Amino acid sequence: MNLVSHILAPEAETTHDDLLWRLLHYFNIYRIILGGLFLVATFFLGGEFDFGTFDPRLFLYGSAAYLAVGLAFILPIAWRKPDFNAQLALQVCLDIVFIVILMHASGGIQSGLGLLLLVSLAASGLIRQGKMMLFFASLACIAILLEHTYDLLYFQSATSHYVLAGMLSTGYFVMGGLMRVLAQSSRENVELARRRGADLASMEKINHRVIQELQDGILVVDESGKILSWNLQAESLLAVNGAALLEASLDREVPQIARLWHARADNGREDRLATAGSGRRIRVRFASVDGGCSVIFLEDWSRIQNQARQIKLAALGRLTANIAHEIRNPLASITYAAELLAEDAAAEPVQSRLLSIILENSKRLDGMVQDILRFNRKDRANAEIFSPESFFPDFLDQFCRIHKVPRESFALELNSSQKLVFDRSHLNQVMWNLSRNAWRHSQKQEESIRIRIGRGSRPDRVNVDIMDDGPGVAESLQAELFEPFFTTSEGGTGLGLYIAREISAANGATLDYVGDGPGGHFRIECRGADGDQA
C-alpha cells in the first residue's frame, strides 16, 4: 500500500495519463529484469539451476523470448502507440503465455513458477485500478489448467497435482479481488491527497495574502537574528527596501529593533521606538515559535493613538454637536441684547467697556460653535489632482498678503514631480492653519518657515513638510498636540490642529508632528499621482 502511494504520488505533478504510462514502463522493466535473470542463470548455472530441468532448451528459448518481448515494448511505451489498454492487455497475456511455457519446461505445476503470475496480475490490477482483473485471472486459470492437462495426457503427470492447480487458480481470483479493493482504496487515497494538497496550496496563498494585507508589520527571524520573512507593511514602517531584508541580519538592517529583540528574554515587554528611516513611532511585540524562530510584530503607534482618539472622540463629537446647537440660540440672544444695550449706553464708559467684553467673548464662543458644527457636518472631500507648482506659490502669496507677512519669510522647496490627490479647499484650510501656527512661533526672519514637497514613505505618497525655526513643541506636549480644545496660545480654541488632522484623514492623508529638529516640523503625507496624470 505504501509502495502504491509512493508510486502514485507524482500524480500531483503530472496528468493521469502520464502516470499510467509511467507505471506501465516500470512493469515492463520488471519483465525485462525477470527474463534477463532466467537467461543468465541458465547460461552460467546450467544443471545446478532448479528451473528448466524438464526441458532446458525450451526454458532457454522461452527466457530469451521473454526478454526480447520486454525489450520490444520499450519503444511502443515511449511512443504511446498503440493505446494504453491494448498494450497492457497484450503484455499481461504474453506474461501468462511465457510463464506457463517456462513452468512447463521446469516440470509443470510443482515447479512453483505459476506464482509469478500473481505478480503480473497484481501489477495489472494496480495500474488499471482493478479493471479487467477478473478477465486476466480467468485467462491465467485456463492456461494453468490446460498446461497441467497436457502434462497429464502426454507425460503421465500425477492426477493429484490438479489440487495444486486448483489452489493456484483460486489464488489468482483471490488476488484479483484483493487488487480490486486495494486499487479502489488507493484511488480514494490519491484523490484525497490531491484535494488536501490543493487545499493546502490555496490556504498558503490565502495566508500569504492576509499577511501582506495586515496593517501591522511582521518580521520572522531565526535564532541567530537572520531575517527569514516579512510583509509589505514592515517595509513601509521601517522605510527599507525589501531586497535589502532578504537573508539580512536584524542587527545590521534595523538595529533599534535588534536591541529590543536581544533584550526580550529579560523582560519580554512591549516597547516603542522611533525608526530611523520613516520617523514613525512603532510598538514592537515578540512571539516565539517552534524551531527557534521569532515573529516580530510592528504596530504603527500613531495609528494606535488615532484609533483610541477616534473611539474617545466619537462620543465627544456627538455630545459637542448637541451642546453647540443648544448654545447657539441663547448665545445669539445674548449677543443681540448686548448690541441693543450698547446703543443705549454709548455715553457710559464703564457700561460700554463691559458690553464690549460681552460682545468679544460672544464672538469667540460663536466661532468655536461654528468650528464644532462645521467639523461634525463632515462634508465629503472632493478629491482633485493638481500639481504642487500650481497650488503652493499662489497659497503663499495669498497668505502673506492677508496676514501682512513678508514673502521672503517663506522658502518653498519642490522636490517631487508627483501631483497631489486632495480637495484643494481642504488643503488650503490645513495649510492655512499650519502656516499661521508656524509664523506665530517662528523668529520671523528670512526663510524662517520652509515648506518642502518630496516623496513619501511609498511611491504613491507625497510628503508636505512645514518647518519653522521656532522653539518647537515640548516632548511632554506632543502627545496632546492634536487633542481637541488643547492649545498653548492665548485666545485659541484648541480645535485648529484637530480639525486639520481630521480633514487630512478625510482626504486619505495623515498629519503628524515629526519633531526631528530644533524647530517645529509638521508633515502631511497625502496621496500622489504620476506626473502625467490629469
CA–CA separation, 501 vs 504, rounded Å? 5
Question: Cα–Cα distances in Å, from 481 out to 119, 219, 346, 467?
Answer: 84, 31, 43, 16
Report how far Cα 343 is from the mean position of its chain's Cα atoms.
73
Task: Confirm whether 534 is domain-assigned.
Answer: no
Question: Sign (positive/negative) of CA torsion 312, 270, 297, 289?
Answer: negative
Residues 373 and 405 in one domain: no
Label residue 203 exposed, middle or buried (CB < 10 Å: 0-12, 13-18, 19+): exposed
Residues 308 and 321 in one domain: yes
Q: Where are the beta strands (DSSP E) in 275-427?
A: 281-288, 294-300, 384-386, 410-414, 419-422
Q: What percent of the chain has pLDDT over 70?
A: 80
Residues 105 and 192 in one domain: yes
Are 66 and 102 a contacting pair, CB within 8 Å?
yes
Residue 49 per-residue DSSP state: S
CA–CA separation, 131 vs 115, rounded Å? 21
Q: Is it the case that residue 265 has pLDDT exceeding 70?
A: no
CA–CA separation, 54 vs 63, rounded Å? 15
Residues 418 and 506 in one domain: yes
Our CA angle for 505, 533, 398, nearest 5°, is 60
270-306 pLDDT per residue, tens: 555 555 455 667 778 887 777 678 888 887 777 776 7
pLDDT of residue 374: 59
Peptide bond before 388: cis, by omega within 30 degrees of 0? Answer: no
Say whether 241 sits in a helix, a strand or coil.
Answer: coil
Q: Is it the case that residue 396 has pLDDT exceeding 80?
A: yes
Task: Confirm whether 207 is domain-assigned.
Answer: no
For the residues 443-472, what does the mean pLDDT come to?
89
Residues 462 and 329 in one domain: no
87-102 pLDDT per residue, tens: 888 888 888 898 888 8
121-157 pLDDT per residue, tens: 888 777 765 567 778 888 888 888 888 788 778 776 6
Cell of 531: 506626473
Label residue 35 exposed, middle or buried (CB < 10 Å: 0-12, 13-18, 19+): buried
Task: Confirm whether 210 is domain-assigned.
Answer: no
Label residue 421 exposed, middle or buried (CB < 10 Å: 0-12, 13-18, 19+): buried
CA–CA separation, 341 vs 353, rounded Å? 12
Report the chain's mean pLDDT, rounded to a whole number.
78
CA–CA separation, 480 vs 501, rounded Å? 13
Q: Is it the case that residue 460 has pLDDT exceeding 80?
A: yes
Task: Confirm whether 143 is domain-assigned.
Answer: yes
Task: Confirm whether 87 is domain-assigned.
Answer: yes
Residues 79 and 145 in one domain: yes
Q: Choose the final residue of a domain: 325, 352, 377.
A: 377
179-196 pLDDT per residue, tens: 777 777 777 887 888 888
Number of other residues whose CB lies within 10 A of the CB of residue 151: 21
Residues 186 and 63 in one domain: yes
Q: Which residue has the higher pLDDT, 533 or 166?
A: 166
Residues 271 and 319 in one domain: no
CA–CA separation, 412 vs 47, rounded Å? 106
Residue 419 per-residue DSSP state: E
Task: Confirm whether 209 is domain-assigned.
Answer: no
Are 281 and 301 a contacting pair, CB within 8 Å?
yes
pLDDT of residue 410: 92
Provide the β-strand partners of residue 271.
284
CA–CA separation, 254 vs 280, rounded Å? 14
Residues 50 and 146 in one domain: yes
Instruction: Give the model's confidence band at 416: pLDDT under 50 very low, under 70 low, under 90 confident, else very high.
Output: confident
Label residue 126 exposed, middle or buried (CB < 10 Å: 0-12, 13-18, 19+): buried
Residues 108 and 74 in one domain: yes
Instruction: Give the model's confidence band at 533: pLDDT under 50 very low, under 70 low, under 90 confident, else very high.
Output: very low
Instruction: Give the model's confidence band at 452: pLDDT under 50 very low, under 70 low, under 90 confident, else very high.
Output: very high
CA–CA separation, 464 vs 422, rounded Å? 12
499-525 pLDDT per residue, tens: 888 888 888 899 988 877 788 899 999
Task: Confirm whether 73 is domain-assigned.
Answer: yes
Q: Choose the final residue of a domain: 300, 328, 354.
A: 300
Provide the β-strand partners of residue 510.
525
Residues 327 and 421 in one domain: no
CA–CA separation, 88 vs 21, rounded Å? 10
- What pTM does this model have? 0.41
14-59 pLDDT per residue, tens: 466 787 888 888 888 988 998 888 888 887 776 566 777 788 888 8
Q: Choose the final residue of a domain: 201, 232, 247.
A: 201
Question: What is the total count of domains within the chain?
Answer: 4
Q: Is it the case that residue 7 has pLDDT exceeding 50?
A: no
pLDDT of residue 3: 38
Write the single-letter amino acid at 207.
N
Q: Which residue has the higher pLDDT, 460 or 281?
A: 460
Full residue range of the structural domain in which residue 318 is found = 303-377
Residues 504 and 453 in one domain: yes
Give me the CATH number covering residue 268: 3.30.450.20
Task: Confirm whether 208 is domain-assigned.
Answer: no
Strand order in the sheet with 217-221: 227-230, 217-221, 294-300, 281-288, 271-274
60-85 pLDDT per residue, tens: 888 889 899 989 999 988 888 888 88
pLDDT of residue 532: 44
